[in-house]
Amino acid sequence: MIAPEISLEGIGFSRIAGVDEAGRGACAGPLIIAAVILPRSDSGVDLSSCVDSKSISEAERERRFERVKEVAIAYSIIEVPAPEIDEVGLHTSNLAGMRRAVSTLAPAADYVLTDGYAIDGLTVPNLAVWKGDSVSRTIGAASILAKVTRDRIMRELAEEFPEYGLEIHKGYVTAAHKSALLAHGPSKIHRFSFANIAALA
């Protein structure tokens, strides 16, 4: 399969942004959305480290996070806190965060690739790519920026809320997280619009 960036570069696009998020399925902590523009495929820059964040170890993600920032033409990272997710809904806040991430890129993107579904309301053309974080280097790079940023935030929150074990499960629903919620109840960083948290509130 030809990478979507190569096809788009072949018809004249040069600043292609990839967008991805981390924390969509978690019931605690923020949603993090990243957008990134990488050098062109023919630039000579080694872009092999820009792959799906879920397919590599945490230590390797940290290393590649720094590499993506180093080579990126532009990148933007947006944090959507749990209360905002509860106020407007997960999908709406995710799309709004993606629009914000794209709109704050400098220089601006002339095309946008997203993982899974398109973003409404953009002023540049965009394409939803099935399993985009695996086939698109720009989406893969965005996934690394989003995942590492969120993991760092969750480790910091674990120091403030040590009873939940956030440094281990990062706010996702696990047996240990469920047990902690039953013992301590939800905190201000939990998403009360999620059914499992609402049931305990």
- Residue 48 within any structural domain of the chain: yes
- Residue 182 within any structural domain of the chain: no
Beta-bridge partner residues of 57: none
The yes-or-no verdict on residue 1 having pLDDT over 60 is no
Contact 71, 179 (CB under 8 A): no
For residue 112, what is the domain's CATH number? 3.30.420.10
Pick the closest to residue 164 from 179, 147, 148 (CA basis). 179
pLDDT per position as a tens digit, 59-94: 889 999 999 999 999 999 999 999 999 999 999 999
Question: Among 37-51, 124-138, 158-172, which is the least confidently predicted range?
Answer: 37-51
The yes-or-no verdict on residue 20 having pLDDT over 70 is yes
- Residue 112 within any structural domain of the chain: yes
Element (H, E) at 111: strand 111-115
Can you tell me the mean pLDDT for 108-116? 94
CA 16 to chain centre: 17
- Residue 167 within any structural domain of the chain: no
CA 181 to chain centre: 25
What's the number of domains the chain is made of?
Answer: 1
pTM of the model: 0.94
pLDDT per position as a tens digit, 52-66: 667 778 888 999 999
Distance, in Å, from the CA atom of 138 to the CA atom of 4, rounded to the nearest integer, reads 9
- Residue 123 within any structural domain of the chain: yes
Take residue 64 and report the two structure tokens written for it.
């590649």
- Residue 108 within any structural domain of the chain: yes
- Residue 185 within any structural domain of the chain: no
Contact 33, 78 (CB under 8 A): yes
- Residue 134 within any structural domain of the chain: yes
The yes-or-no verdict on residue 191 having pLDDT over 70 is yes
Helix, strand, or coil here: 78? strand
Q: Tell me which residue range forms the domain holding 66.
A: 4-152
| pLDDT score, position 131 | 80
| pLDDT score, position 57 | 85
Distance, in Å, from the CA atom of 126 to the CA atom of 117, rounded to the nearest integer, reads 10
Confidence of residue 195 (pLDDT cuts 50, 70, 90): very high
